[in-house]
Structure 1
Amino acid sequence: MAWTVPGLLAVVLVAALLTAMARGYALRRQLLDQPGERRSHAVATPRGGGIAIVVSQLLAYIGVGVLFPQAAATLAIFSAGLVMVAGIGWWDDHRPLPALPRLGVHVLAGLLLGALVWHWTGEASSAGFSVLLAIALINVWNFMDGIDGLAATQALLASVAYALLLPAPVAGLALILAAGVLGFLPFNFPKARIFMGDVGSGALGYLLAGLVALGLGTRSAPWTILLVPLAAFLVDAGLTLAGRVFRGERWMEAHTQHLYQRWVKSGCSHVMVTSGYALFGVAGIVLMHVFTWLPSPWSHLAALAWAAAAAGLWSVLLNKVHR
């Protein structure tokens, strides 16, 4: 335990230093997200700061692998998937790519995670779920990374939730992610001086899928409960996407139809919207731990009820901003 606190502080500092360096690099290379009709920000802002989170995690995994050699192979395979997702995102931040090559890389990274889960559990269903979840979360975090601090704070809260749920020492991996996001966050909230870019948003989705996979592998909770900390993003992204598909819109195109985007367009500040999502996330953390004490099938039903409540709240709030 003695190495944990200084180690986590080192991750925070490394992430903060690398974010500052990434901002300088983006300014020199003119990697800027410009304001526009399909954007939620008013000034040109550097992008690509999420590379700092990625590198902080990879360096931390090297340290963990040295301290726990039995985990080194698993961390190496997971890191390969992380590098793939972050790498295609970094490329896209510099030179936008078509959706198909990006999706192909996401699928390959998801398959790596699924192979790890299959190795841990021997369950094809858990492995398949992990593959689909990784692909989904990579893209969900990309869709939802549109205002100051939103994607980072949700990732921070979710990683804290998994740190509280997972057994030691694997809970340390969740804390490492929380530390990396914490180092980046002051540059992104309450006023963004840099955006994380596709390199960061996709990587966060993959990293969170990895924590859910750890929950499955350690039998910490059923999959329904493991998704509770992700409910805000899954509901907003999922229902918005379903609506666009139903209306026959080109759902892969950039848009401002998510609830958080409509809130901002209605006049709410980025701080207010991000804080609202954060309050929902904190409630999810509390309820997740309550649900773990319930016997099956009540734990599943409680988690599904929370998802239904989130969908209902989404619908109510969306109707309000439409008025």
Structure 2
Amino acid sequence: MALALLLSWIFTGFWISLMKGLGLGKRVRQDGPQTHLTKEGTPSMGGVAFLLAAFLAYLATGKDAFLGLWLLGLGFALLGLLDDLGGSLARPLRAREKLALQSLMALVFALWAARQVAYTPWPILDVLLIALAVVGAANAFNFTDGLDGLLASVAAILLLPFHGYPFAQTLLGGVLGFLWHNAPRAKVFMGDTGSQALGALVAGLFVLSGNLWLLPLAAIVPVLEVLSVVVQVAYFRRTGRRLLRMSPLHHHLELSGWDEAKVVFRFAILTALATALAFGLGGGG
């Protein structure tokens, strides 16, 4: 964990300098909270730095059987990178194309993971459950990544119960090294490169450790974030009005008067409570 944290801290700092030197920065939605307009131009795609740091530390010290999980993370990171570079591509990926690629990668992983651990008497159902968990987590984590330090804080807490696994130790170290630079005011964003990969990796960790059923409760914040988007879209299509001031949920709370740091802090507390309840009641870990 210490090695991954140190590498992540160094790599992320280098990444910030590189992005600034290339003049590449995040574009901020003009219809979002006005306080976010000052973040225009902040370096993004920081997921490249902390994922590389975690992977290198894992190769140096890893002793568990989760090396195959990194292939899943790599696939989702590359897909997220395409999203981050969307404005630079001739034709950005459409939502349905991205979902199809996510589903394909999740299905391949699920076919492998279902041979390692079983959740139902029916292997095909296990495959479907695992694939759904991976795709759902990748998108839920992506929606959660919208405030300085929010997703990194939530992910770090979700990784703590798995402190006995070298995979989790190195990924946690990578996230913490990135969080040093991401704390308000963020000097870098992880981008879709980091958020999609992080969601897939955390979901895969819950799957392979035999704790899949605990994921929806432990990851209550990403679950609420993605549900807020689904409900907002469905309500608008039905009534032509917005149910929330803005989705995902963290933006609604901001526009309702919560400071950004307050949302992050309270969502971290909620995640800690939900994770403790999940592993305490479920007996996982």
Quick check: TM above 0.5? Answer: yes
Please give the TM-score of this superposition, normalised by the length of structure 1.
Answer: 0.75
For the residue of structure 2 that corresponds to 1:173, the secondary structure is helix
- What stretches of structure 1 of length at least 5 have no aligned partner? 1-7, 295-323
Match of 2:29 among 36, 44, 52: 36
For the residue of structure 2 that corresponds to 1:248, the secondary structure is helix
Partner residue in 1 for 2:196: 202
**Do residues 92 (structure 1) and 86 (structure 2) align?**
no
- Taking the aligned partners of 1:79 and 1:29, their CA distance within structure 2 comes to 29
CA contact (8 A) 1:236 1:258 kept: yes
**Do residues 18 (structure 1) and 11 (structure 2) align?**
yes
CA contact (8 A) 1:14 1:56 kept: yes
Note the alpha carbon deviations across 1:60-83, whole angstroms, 9 max, x for none: 332355x56xx3xx51x3222221
**1:293–1:89 CA distance, 2 compared to 1 (3 A):** closer
Q: Which amino acid is the alignment partner of residue 37 of structure 1?
A: Q
CA contact (8 A) 1:39 1:146 kept: no
- Taking the aligned partners of 1:18 and 1:47, their CA distance within structure 2 comes to 13
Q: Which amino acid is the alignment partner of residue 16 of structure 2?
A: R
Aligned length: 266
Percent identical across equivalent pairs? 25
- Taking the aligned partners of 1:39 and 1:23, their CA distance within structure 2 comes to 24
Note the alpha carbon deviations across 1:29-62, whole angstroms, 9 max, x for none: 3221233334441221111111112112321332
Partner residue in 1 for 2:139: 139
Partner residue in 2 for 1:307: none
Computed over aligned residues only, the root mean square deviation of the Cα atoms, in angstroms, reads 2.4
For the residue of structure 2 that corresponds to 1:119, the secondary structure is coil
- What stretches of structure 2 of length at least 5 have no aligned partner? none
- Taking the aligned partners of 1:58 and 1:138, their CA distance within structure 2 comes to 18
Q: Which amino acid is the alignment partner of residue 20 of structure 2?
A: L
CA contact (8 A) 2:51 2:171 kept: no
Q: Which amino acid is the alignment partner of residue 76 of structure 2?
A: V
Q: Which amino acid is the alignment partner of residue 206 of structure 1?
A: A
Note the alpha carbon deviations across 1:59-109, whole angstroms, 9 max, x for none: 1332355x56xx3xx51x322222111112123222342223322331222
**Do residues 277 (structure 1) and 267 (structure 2) align?**
yes
- Taking the aligned partners of 2:32 and 2:190, their CA distance within structure 1 comes to 15
Partner residue in 2 for 1:82: 73
Deviation at 1:140, TM superposition (A): 1.1
CA contact (8 A) 1:85 1:202 kept: yes
